[in-house]
Structure 1
Amino acid sequence: MTSSHPRLVDVQWLKDRLDDPSIRIVDATVHLTFDDDGAHTESGRETYREGHVPGAVFADQLTDLTVHDGEAPFEAAPSEQFARVVGELGIGNEHTVVVYDTVNGIWATRLWWQFAFEGHEDVVVLDGGLKAWQDAGLPVEFGDASTAPASFRAERHPERSVATADVEAATQDSSVLLINSLDRESFSGVRIPGSVNVPFSELVDDQGRQRSLDELRPLFESVGALDPEVAPVTYCGGGIAATAVAFALKGLGRDDVAVYDGSLNAWTADPDRPLAQG
């Protein structure tokens, strides 16, 4: 894997295993843009068709793995829906899943987290995503790839996710550490009271590759996230970037990280919930 992170692989690792029948490669790209009207998401399917790692299938997280009328605009789909979708992609419980995206890694970690939420731990993230693959001079395929359907059994692990009521309780509980994963300016602008800040953008270098765990450790230690006496809960705007911080913490040995799936979208839905600034 050439990485100290147990769930992170490089392009050489994947190149050596392209023909391994126990491997399933998944492009998890979603495009997220911002303008004066707010945030906008778009399926990455067309980007996938324009070039992807050979053999990779496309998981449309936006349309197939998300509930849009739940607590927040981007909420994990029910277990039975997740199992059906990934099974149709050819992924079974016996497979090692390699996830990547074409953006900044947060959509790959989102799918990594969702697999873990449904009890499948044998999932790794391709460091640097498609860009790293292409930068290494490796070939891509075009169009749609398909794999014979498989049987996937989902066994939800509810401890991987928290709801708004849990976060409300956490604001009064010193044994829970709320970690805001947005940039420092956004954190200063608005946050859940009692939160600390670990920006997801500071977890990667300028090539989109994750910084070494030795580099990341001081960042998390500085906010108390490695204290065994506290339980980390990560959040962001919509539950996506939060998974990148959860992924990094997993590499640093925290197996008890939960993600607030609704994040600020859900928290701010009720104007009576408190917010901190500055």
Structure 2
Amino acid sequence: MYQIFYNLTGRAFQLSVNPQFFYGSTIHKRAISYLRYGLIQGEGFIAITGPVGTGKSMLVQMLISELENDVIATQIGTTQLESSDMLRYIAASYHLTYEGLTKAALLKNLESFLINQTQRGRRVLLIVDEAQDLPSDSLEELRLLSNFQINGKALLQCFLLGQNELRQILALKSMEHLRQRIIAAYHLSPLGREETQGYIEHRLKHVGWSKDPVITHDAYQLIYEHTQGIPRRINIFCERLLLHAYTEELHTINEDAVKSVIKETSLESFTNESTFSN
């Protein structure tokens, strides 16, 4: 639809995570640097936190796309997994036997797998998404997994990704032992005004945008104010904005066009603040 009208090669603001659309804002460059630093260290935990929609999943996909063949990575998304269920989930993610096994057998299988990979010159990386949902005993289980070593070398490295609540959890006194294993932590914040514009233009240019439609300064300002600089909100809103511009056959998106879309979406029962928080 609007792609053809504006001679674009695809959808610039799709919600699915695609590393090709990665925008190197100041904040996200720093975060990816921390992740790369963590990989070089080859041990301990790296914690990346931030509000919903600030780009944690994009950072992970960028990291995975850069990994060499000697790194075996798996990503798990947690839904309040208890420690025993989490161990089964991790084992399944690495294609290990897990059904009907006791916790001791699960741990033994995981340790044998980690030792085998290390002896073959491979490093094993576990990426835990939505880590704020893990019960404390599951976080403790992750810490214990990080104890696996051979010749003084850690066998498993773990990245914890989570929302703001994860910072609060890690600050608890009961998490002191886990905190001691965190070699780097970074908190993502929303984009500023200029980088919001940069983000929008970066994604548009990636699909062949040649300033049709033109987006005015006032329009960018209002988009920033409405989305608060959160990438996922920007994607959702700009997708609707381009659709609106197409239906109105606009070649300039100004403040009035943005206001029209804000009004349209505010009248839809399924498009409100809760839409952006899931």
* TM-score normalised per structure 1: 0.30
Higher relative contact order (CA 8 A, sep 6+): 2
Higher-helix-fraction structure:
2
Specify the structure having the higher radius of gyration (Cα): 2
TM-score normalised by length of structure 2: 0.30
